[in-house]
């Protein structure tokens, strides 16, 4: 490969959330262990981003900054090249992050007591955004079909028709189950939401991380009607490991909805702008790092293969879900016959395996683990060896 996907920078004591959590949970964890939990990468940054930021710092005053025309043009060019969506620069409202963006959408477009729909199990901050803002969760459980999940459209439509349901947060691709929604599924969602006046907030933070053989569609790209009834949330943070630079984009094609969001953001913050280095890193990534991403996806897919084959041979009781997108592998460990809290204990205390526990994504996730694959394959192999040794006395 052209790029380095084997080096790991140890992140003990530097403020990394997942590394700090690992050490709190098991202070005796070995120096050769990395966490597979929180969704950032254990890869070194793309060199184009590092060198580009160095050059930028040599000639830049780090004062107050707005999103430049070149920034917005790079974002839109990426959307066209990678996703075949003709997004317009004027649709972009910068945000500190996608979580901030959907929290803002909940507060901007709904009132206390209004219903917000989710397809569950789902990324846990979505539950939090609903709860802390005194909205009502409208839970639409996904249906397990073998090693993947499907939408129960009868249930979805019934709940969308409730006059109290005002907003639907779509996770596309879906986190944690790794689904890429098909064009037909998205169009059906669009028809139901448009007919029932339910606004769609489309979280596409993982949309660049599509595994071989699958095709992602931007929700807004599928019809003018869908485009005018949605917000599309994107960021370079998952794709290029830039979460610390706190820069994302809210695309709002509908002018009235965009003006409403602009006014809301200004009421909530005197200066709703992003990090100057975040703007530049995003622009560099989208302009120069497509080849790095292509190689990164190869490594993620190889890690998926290694784990899937290991489980089939050694722990066939564990069901590995299809990884159609994201670098987050969703796995059902219930077949081992162990309580989900006991699984967590064995993994963290005995095997040195630090995942995001499935139960944080909702009750359907009990007994599941979410394994972050964005790391060198050698660390995956080492983790599987520890797992085999630790579970020998629990599973026959």
Angle between helices 290-314 and 377-391 (to 10 degrees): 20
Q: Burial, 370: exposed, middle or buried (Cβ in 10 Å; 0-12, 13-18, 19+)?
A: buried
At 272 the pLDDT is 64
Give the whole-angstrom CA distance, residue 302 versus residue 325: 13
Give the whole-angstrom CA distance, residue 218 versus residue 183: 9
Four-CA torsion 117, 118, 124, 128, nearest 10 degrees: 0
Helices of type H across the chain: 17-25, 47-58, 69-83, 98-109, 125-132, 153-160, 183-195, 224-227, 237-240, 255-268, 276-288, 290-314, 340-345, 377-391
At 271 the pLDDT is 65
Cα-Cα-Cα-Cα dihedral sign, residues 51, 39, 383, 311: negative
Phi-psi region of 286 (alpha: psi -120 to 50; beta: other; left: phi over 0): alpha
At 270 the pLDDT is 62
CB 59 within 8 A of CB 72: no
At 31 the pLDDT is 85
CB 33 within 8 A of CB 14: no
User: Residue 36 carries which DSSP code?
Assistant: B
- Helix, strand, coil proportions of the chain in percent (round to 5)? 45, 15, 40
CB 10 within 8 A of CB 23: no
Give the whole-angstrom CA distance, residue 235 versus residue 20: 25
At 266 the pLDDT is 87
Non-local (6+) Cβ contacts of 253 within 8 A are: 87, 88, 91, 220, 227, 228, 230
Divide the 396 residues of the chain into consecutive groups of 10 and give the mean pLDDT of each group.
96 91 91 95 98 97 93 98 98 96 97 98 98 98 97 98 98 98 98 98 98 98 98 98 97 98 85 87 98 98 98 98 98 97 97 97 97 98 97 89
Which residues make beta-bridge pairs with 249? 94, 234
At 244 the pLDDT is 95
Non-local (6+) Cβ contacts of 235 within 8 A are: 97, 98, 205, 242, 247, 248, 249, 282
Cα-Cα-Cα-Cα dihedral sign, residues 301, 303, 304, 306: positive
**φ/ψ of residue 358, rounded to 5:** -60, -30
Give the whole-angstrom CA distance, residue 20 versus residue 10: 11
Integer-rounded Cα Rg, in Å, for the chain is 21
Q: What are the E-state strand segments in 131-213? A: 136-141, 143-145, 148-150, 165-171, 199-203
Look at residue 51 and give its three-state secondary structure.
helix
């Amino acid at each position: 490969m052209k790029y380095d996907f084997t080096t790991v920078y140890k992140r003990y004591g530097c403020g990394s959330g997942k590394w700090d959590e690992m050490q709190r949970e098991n202070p005796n964890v070995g120096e050769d262990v990395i966490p597979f939990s929180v969704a950032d990468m254990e890869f070194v940054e793309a060199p184009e981003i590092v060198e580009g930021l160095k050059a930028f710092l040599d000639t830049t005053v780090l004062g107050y900054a707005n999103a430049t025309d070149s920034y917005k043009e790079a974002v839109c060019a990426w959307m066209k090249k990678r996703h075949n969506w003709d997004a317009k620069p004027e649709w972009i409202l910068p945000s500190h992050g996608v979580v901030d963006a959907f929290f803002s959408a909940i507060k901007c477009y709904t009132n206390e007591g209004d219903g917000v729909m989710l397809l569950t199990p789902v990324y846990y901050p979505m539950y939090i955004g609903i709860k802390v803002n005194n909205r009502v969760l409208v839970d639409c459980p996904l249906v397990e079909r073998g090693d993947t999940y499907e939408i129960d459209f009868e249930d979805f439509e019934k709940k969308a028709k409730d006059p109290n349901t005002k907003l639907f947060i779509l996770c596309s691709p879906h986190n944690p189950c790794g689904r890429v929604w098909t064009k037909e599924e998205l169009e059906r969602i669009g028809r139901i939401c448009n007919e029932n006046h339910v606004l769609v907030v489309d979280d596409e933070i993982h949309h660049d991380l599509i595994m071989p053989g699958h095709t992602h569609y931007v929700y807004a790209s599928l019809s003018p009607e869908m485009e005018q009834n949605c917000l599309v949330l994107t960021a370079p943070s998952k794709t290029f490991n830039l979460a610390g630079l706190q820069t994302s984009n809210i695309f709002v094609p509908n002018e009235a909805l965009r003006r409403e969001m602009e006014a809301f953001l200004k009421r909530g913050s005197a200066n709703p702008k992003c990090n100057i280095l975040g703007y530049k890193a995003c622009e560099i990534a989208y302009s120069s790092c497509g080849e790095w991403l292509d190689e990164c996806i190869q490594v993620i897919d190889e890690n998926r293969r290694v784990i899937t084959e290991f489980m089939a041979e050694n722990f066939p009781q564990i069901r590995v879900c299809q990884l159609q997108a994201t670098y987050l592998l969703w796995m059902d460990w219930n077949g081992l016959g162990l309580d989900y809290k006991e699984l967590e204990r064995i993994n963290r205390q005995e095997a040195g395996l630090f995942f995001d526990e499935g139960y944080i994504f909702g009750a359907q996730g009990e007994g599941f683990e979410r394994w972050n694959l964005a790391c060198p394959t050698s660390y995956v192999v080492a983790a599987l060896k520890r797992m085999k040794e630790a579970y020998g006395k629990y599973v026959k």
